[in-house]
């Protein structure tokens, strides 16, 4: 009996390897490796396409954020110029101290709002998270800030002419 057990113990690996060989041969005959390779290539192509789309979206987002930053920089420089002109008008006694304080307060509020929007835009630009899609809202806010800046400019012109 022990001799039979010994023979079975020695034959078992051979039988198992024969089964594995037969399974692999059957897999080769039905095109298993080619099917797996084709499926892997299709998955790789799909991921590459997805990567191209995501890169294009990221580039578009970067361009939009850069354009917003450029508009904010122009607005900020315009506000700085208005503040200088307002200070010069006070110095030359073209506006009263009360009117100067009122216009200066408006200018400072506009500067604060512009700086706040710029900080939010910079944070969005640095963020690796999915874009929030709030660029249209930022553009609307910039339009509002531009209108407020124009109104301030008109008020400054009117105050200096008096």
- pLDDT tens, residue order, the chain (162 aa): 677 676 666 666 665 555 676 677 776 677 767 888 888 899 999 999 999 999 998 888 888 888 888 988 998 998 899 899 889 988 988 888 888 899 899 999 999 999 988 888 888 888 766 656 667 888 888 888 888 888 888 888 888 776
Residue 104 within any structural domain of the chain: yes
Pairwise CA distance, residues 63 & 80, whole Å: 26
State residue 131's pLDDT score: 59
State residue 43's pLDDT score: 94
Residue 152 within any structural domain of the chain: yes
Number of structural domains, the chain? 1
Residue 156 within any structural domain of the chain: yes
State residue 8's pLDDT score: 63
State residue 33's pLDDT score: 78
Residue 17 within any structural domain of the chain: no
Residue 111 within any structural domain of the chain: yes
Residue 86 within any structural domain of the chain: yes
Residue 13 within any structural domain of the chain: no
Q: Which tokens sit at 69?
A: 């930053």
Residue 129 within any structural domain of the chain: yes
Q: Is the dihedral of CA 108, 89, 146, 75 positive or negative?
A: negative
CA dihedral 8, 14, 15, 20 (to 10 degrees): 150
């Amino acid at each position: 009996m022990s001799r039979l057990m010994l023979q079975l113990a020695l034959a078992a690996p051979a039988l198992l390897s024969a089964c594995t060989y037969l399974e692999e041969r059957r897999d080769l005959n039905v095109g298993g490796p080619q099917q797996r390779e084709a499926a892997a290539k299709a998955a790789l192509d799909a991921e590459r396409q997805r990567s191209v789309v995501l890169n294009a979206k990221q580039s578009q987002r970067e361009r939009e954020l850069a354009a917003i930053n450029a508009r904010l920089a122009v607005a900020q420089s315009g506000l700085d110029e208005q503040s200088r002109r307002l200070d010069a008008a006070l110095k030359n006694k073209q506006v009263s101290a009360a009117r100067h304080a009122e216009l200066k307060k408006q200018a400072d509020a506009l500067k604060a709002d512009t700086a706040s929007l710029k900080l939010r835009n910079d944070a969005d630009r640095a963020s690796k998270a999915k874009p929030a899609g709030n660029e249209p809202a930022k553009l609307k806010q910039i339009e509002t800030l531009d209108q407020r800046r124009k109104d301030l400019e008109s008020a400054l012109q009117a105050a200096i002419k008096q």
